[in-house]
Structure 1
Amino acid sequence: MHDQKELWREIEQLQEKLHEIVSKKGINSPEAIRVSQEFRNKMKEYHDSKNQYEP
């Protein structure tokens, strides 16, 4: 299990990568779609980890 700070850093990196890909190849490029899915999965992982620690 990742720690929340590490997860957030990974999310920020994926977000930057997605912005770069979209600006160069377009939002509907296969690479943008793949990174977008990775971003959503990482966000879900982050939110799930936050919910795990809340009472």
Structure 2
Amino acid sequence: MQVAAFISTLMMVGLVTLPVEVEYFGKRLAIFRNLMAFIFSFVVAFIIGIVVV
């Protein structure tokens, strides 16, 4: 479960690419996308935890 949260957060949340996202999508959408990706990472981890156990 922890590994799923770590890997999905690592792949989906882009703090390094945030300046590029702000340039193309705007500040509000870039932050919203990263926030939703962060929350979705925990949802994925929870589902993996249910499936594996």
TM-score by length of 2: 0.50
For residues 7-46 of structure 1, what are the structure 2 equivalents within 5 Å?
A: 7-11=5-9, 14=13, 17=15, 29-46=28-45
Please give the root-mean-square deviation of Cα atoms over the aligned residues, in Å: 3.2
Unaligned runs of 5+ in 1: none
Unaligned runs of 5+ in 2: none
Q: Hey, which bits of structure 1, 4+ residues long, moved more than 3 A? A: none
Structure ranking higher on relative contact order (CA contacts 8 Å, 6+ apart): 2
Q: TM-score, normalised by structure 1?
A: 0.49
Q: 1:35 to 1:8 in 2, by over 3 A?
A: same
Size of the aligned set, in residue pairs, is: 45
Tell me if the contact between 1:7 and 1:46 (Cα under 8 Å) persists in the aligned partners: yes
